[in-house]
Amino acid sequence: MKKTIQIPLGSQHISLLEPIRFKFECENEKIIGVDADVGFVHRGVELACTRSFEFKQVGYVVARVCGLCAITHTLSYTLAAEKLLGYEANDRIKYLRMLMVELDRIHSHMLCLAHTAENAGFEALFMQIMGDRELIMEVQEAISGNRIQFDYISIGGVNRDLTSELSALIRKNLGLLAEKIDTLIGLFDNNWSLSLRYKGVGVLSLEDAYTYNALGPLARAAGLATDVRAETSDFPYEEIGYKMILESTGDIHARNFVRLREIVNSIEICRNIIENLPVGEIQEKAKGKPNGEAVIRVEAPRGELFYLVRGSGQNMLDRVRIKTPTFSAIPAMMEVFKGSEYADAPAILASFDPCMSCTAK
Amino acid sequence: MFSSMLEAFLNLFRPIRTLQYPAEEIILPSGYRGLIEHDHEACIYCDKCEKVCPPGAILFFQHEAGEKEYRYNPWLCIYCGECVRACPKPEEALRQSEKKQLSAVAADGANEQWFVWEDACRQSREAYTAAKKSAKIQSKSEE
């Protein structure tokens, strides 16, 4: 007789924001085998980029891959296209792009924390974090003119400048947020009911993180020092106060703490950017047609985002390939589930911060 | 834990954080990216906005006499402002306002009427270039 039972999680499940299916092979309450299926929201973005849109418009198309990391997708594509055009942005453009990416990271991490709290059964904390997240959404709306689809970065620069009123608003909201994050750190560290669901649950060891090629906060929580911001030189992150955040235990608690401390670091980066914003043009001419092949890596909130763009001197591109952090992290995710209780699965899944729209595109 | 319970209890007496939408007006920030506005007088009809528009929300209809007619679909527009940046006379001929477009209802014909218009625009272009070509050939043969 068969001793194990199969329990599916998804593709529609109360704890999921987006469709993903895990098939768990369970022995009593313990998960011993995992199977994952991610392709539920395929929209054919990659093909549309090469068939229906010219290379200057593709930045706006890839922004629609994902609502949360819209700015990171556009930035990656724009950097790749600019590499092909042989154009290098000036310091002001670089700083403004960095500012938006860091703001994006803050609100994306806050959404993940809120969702992890909700899946651990703490609805009130979910509401509180989502309410605080509005501070950042407000800033992003004021900078770019739209709440979700920023359309801020274009080939050759950024679309809007940072005025002094905007800088004042950013400073004010970041100050308010920093206090709230401090209380959140205390809450996540000391709250007894949260620690029951987080500490020692969903552990990814350092060896497994190496073997299964974990990335982003998932890897840094296990102590694996990997961050594209430190590895590439597209942006001057070192001079703006970037610090690599590492934890060692690799459980949900550690992942939450990597996110919380990264938010603190990102607030610091944003403040430094506003204080030291260089002078210069915000939009420059990038002439020519993309010819050749370019590969770009950018640190999205969830990990490394990879773009390959190939063109042959035409208005239309030959190939756009997007490899998203969630897709790369699936082997590591499946490893984490093995050996944990089925009841912990939603909280573990939320702590990965999976983005299915990105993955299936 | 007790501090968070106390916090949750105190929240009962704090003001509501969400916006009571139909009763309260949503205040849009200044610089909100809203509807694209076109000025018939100032426009030089260079078609640059039509070419750069990512979703194709701006289309020009070619009349036989030579003048063009501007048409804009606010429900297809993604409000990126690329047309305004491409315009040789920004803020005069084409500008981005801070007005918000309401959702389309069936009577607006956001899809059906636009598809008809897209076809009409394409056909008008083709007919115009064909007429021009034949006129050229005719004038050459007369010479």
Q: What is the pLDDT of residue A1?
A: 61
Please write the tens of the pLDDT for every residue from A21-34.
888 888 888 888 88
Torsion angle of C-alpha atoms A299, A83, B79, B58, degrees rounded to 10: -150
- Buried/exposed code over A72-84 (b: 16+ C-beta within 10 A; e: otherwise): bbbbbbbbbbbbb
Residue of B nearest to A145 (CA): B32
List CB contacts (< 8 A) between A142 and chain B. Answer: 29, 31
Predicted confidence (pLDDT) at residue A245 exceeds the cutoff of 80: yes
CB atoms within 10 A of CB A121: 14
Full residue range of the structural domain in which residue B77 is found: 37-101+110-130
A53 CB neighbours in chain B (<8 A) are 54
Torsion sign over Cα A46, A51, A56, A60:
negative
pLDDT at residue A350 in the model:
81
Domain count, chain B: 1
Q: State the nearest Cα–Cα gap between B41 and chain A, in angstroms.
A: 27
| Pick from A274, A289, A59: nearest CA to A159 | A59
Cβ-defined contact of A159 to B31 (cutoff 8 Å): no
Q: Is B139 exposed, middle or buried (0-12, 13-18, 19+ CB in 10 A)?
A: exposed
Q: CB-CB: which of B8, B11, B33 is closest to A145?
A: B33
pLDDT tens sequence across A44-84 = 888 888 888 888 888 888 888 888 888 888 999 999 988 88
Q: How does the average pLDDT of chain A come out, rounded?
A: 85
Asked if omega into A11 is within 30° of 0 (cis), the reply is yes
pLDDT, tens digit, 9 for 90 and up, residues B86-141: 888 888 888 888 888 888 888 887 888 888 888 888 888 888 888 888 888 888 88
Interchain proximity A138–B29, CB inside 8 Å: yes
Q: Indicate whether B7 belongs to any domain.
A: no
DSSP assignment string, A87-146: ----HHHHHHHHHHHHHHHHHHHHHHHHHHHHHTT-HHHHHHHHHHHHHHHHHHHHHHSS
Q: What percent of chain B clears pLDDT 70, i.e. is strictly above it? A: 99
Instruction: Check: CB of residue A29 under 8 Å from CB of residue A350.
Output: no
Query: Nearest chain B Cα to A160, which residue?
Result: B31
Say if the Cβ atoms of B54 and A187 lie within 8 Å.
no
- pLDDT at position B30, please? 81
The question of ipTM being above 0.90 is answered as: no
In this prediction, residue A317 carries a pLDDT of 86
pLDDT of A310 strictly over 80: yes
**Residues B58-64: what's their mean pLDDT?**
82
pLDDT higher than threshold 70 for residue A109: yes
- Domains of chain A, by residue range, sit at 45-360
Q: What is the pLDDT confidence band of residue B22, given thresholds at 50, 70 and 90?
A: confident
Smallest Cα distance from A20 to chain B, Å: 28
Residue of B nearest to A153 (CA): B80
Q: Cβ contact (<8 Å) for B31 and A160?
A: yes
**Residue B12 confidence (pLDDT) above 80:** yes
Q: What whole-number percentage of chain A has pLDDT above 70?
A: 100
Residues of B in contact with A131 (CB under 8 A): 17
Residue B67 lies in a domain: yes
Task: List the single residue in B with minimal CA-CA distance to A127.
Answer: B17
Report domain A45-360's class: mainly alpha
Q: How far is CA A96 from each of CA A48, A152, B68, rounded to the nearest angstrom?
A: 29, 10, 39
pLDDT digits (tens, 9 = 90+) for A291-301: 888 899 888 88
User: Cα(A242)–Cα(A6) distance, rounded to whole angstroms?
Assistant: 45
- Domain membership of residue B141 (yes or no) is no
Whether B76 is in a domain gets the answer yes
Nearest CA in chain A to B51: A54
Contact residues, chain B, for A57 at CB < 8 Å: 52, 54, 82
Q: Do A192 and B1 touch (CB under 8 A)?
A: yes
Q: Which residues of B are less than 8 Å from A124 in CB distance?
A: 8, 11
Query: In chain A, what residues touch B8 (CB-CB under 8 Å)?
Result: 124
Instruction: For residues A120 and A251, give the distance between their C-alpha atoms in angstroms, rounded to a whole number.
Output: 14
Q: Say if B32 falls within a structural domain.
A: no
Q: Are A187 and B4 inside 8 Å of each other by CB?
A: yes
CATH number at residue B95: 3.30.70.20
The pTM of the full predicted model, rounded to 2 decimals, is 0.87
Query: Which residue numbers of A have CB closer than 8 Å to B's CBs?
Result: 53, 56-57, 60-61, 124-125, 131, 138, 141-142, 144-146, 149, 151, 154, 159-160, 187, 190-193, 283
Q: What is the mean pLDDT of residues A152-173?
A: 86
Nearest residue in chain A measured CA to CA from B27: A138
- To test the contact with chain A by mutation, choose from B4, B12, B19, B79 the residue with the greatest count of A C-beta atoms within 10 A, namely B4
pLDDT tens string A324-358? 888 888 888 888 888 788 888 888 888 888 888 88
Domain membership flag for residue B116: yes
Question: What pLDDT, on a 0 to 100 scale, did the predictor assign at position A356?
Answer: 81
Residues of chain A contacting B78 with CB distance shorter than 8 Å: 60, 149, 151
For residue A172, the distance in angstroms to the closest alpha carbon of chain B comes to: 16
User: What is the pLDDT, as a whole number, of residue A157?
Assistant: 84
